[in-house]
Structure 1
Amino acid sequence: MTNSEKENSIGYQLSYTENLHRNLLNKKFTSNQLDVTPEQFIILDLLTEYPDGISMQTISIKIHRDNSAITRSIDILEKRNLVIRINAKTDRRKKIILITKEGNTLLSKAKNIAKAHAKEVANGLTETQLNEFFMILKHIQNNIHDSTNK
Structure 2
Amino acid sequence: MDEFYSLGFLLNRASVSMSKLLNARLESETIDLPHSQFIVLRCLHYKDGLSQQEIARLLCKDAAAIKRTIDNLEKKELVVRSQVSQRENCINITSKGQKLIPTALECGDNVLKDSLKDIEDIDYEKLKTLLDKIYMNIEEISQ
TM-score per shorter chain, which class?
A: over 0.9
Residue of 10, 15, 18 corresponding to 2:15 = 18
Q: How many residues align?
A: 143
Identity %: 29
What's the TM-score, normalizing by structure 2?
0.93
Look up the equivalent residue of 1:22 and give its one-letter code: S
Alignment of 1:18-37 (within 5 A): 18-37=15-34
Q: CA deviation at 1:59?
A: 0.7
> What is the CA deviation profile of residues 88-145 of structure 1, one whole-angstrom value per residue up to 9, with x for unaligned ones?
1xx2342111100111111111001111111111010111111111121112112211
Which gives a bigger RCO, structure 1 or 2 (Cα 8 Å, sep 6+)? 2
Q: Does 1:126 align with 2:120?
A: yes
Structure 2: gaps of 5 or more residues: none
Q: CA deviation at 1:67?
A: 1.1
User: Does the residue aligned with 1:61 lie in a helix, a strand or coil?
Assistant: helix
CA contact (8 A) 2:45 2:101 kept: no
Q: Which residue of 2 aligns with 1:43?
A: 40
Report runs of 4+ in structure 1 exceeding 2 Å deviation: 48-51
Look up the equivalent residue of 2:50 and give its one-letter code: I
Partner Cα separation in structure 1 for residue 77 and residue 33 of structure 2: 12
What's the TM-score, normalizing by structure 1?
0.89
**Superposition RMSD in Å:** 1.4
CA contact (8 A) 1:85 1:97 kept: yes
Look up the equivalent residue of 1:46 and give its one-letter code: C
Q: Which residue of 2 aligns with 1:101?
A: 95
Residue of 2, 5, 29 corresponding to 1:4 = 2
Partner Cα separation in structure 2 for residue 10 and residue 144 of structure 1: 14
Partner Cα separation in structure 2 for residue 126 and residue 30 of structure 1: 29
Q: CA deviation at 1:76?
A: 0.6
Look up the equivalent residue of 2:66 and give its one-letter code: I
Look up the equivalent residue of 1:60 and give its one-letter code: A
Q: Does 1:57 align with 2:53?
A: yes
Look up the equivalent residue of 2:136 and give its one-letter code: N
Q: CA deviation at 1:24?
A: 1.0
Larger of the two Rg values belongs to structure: 1
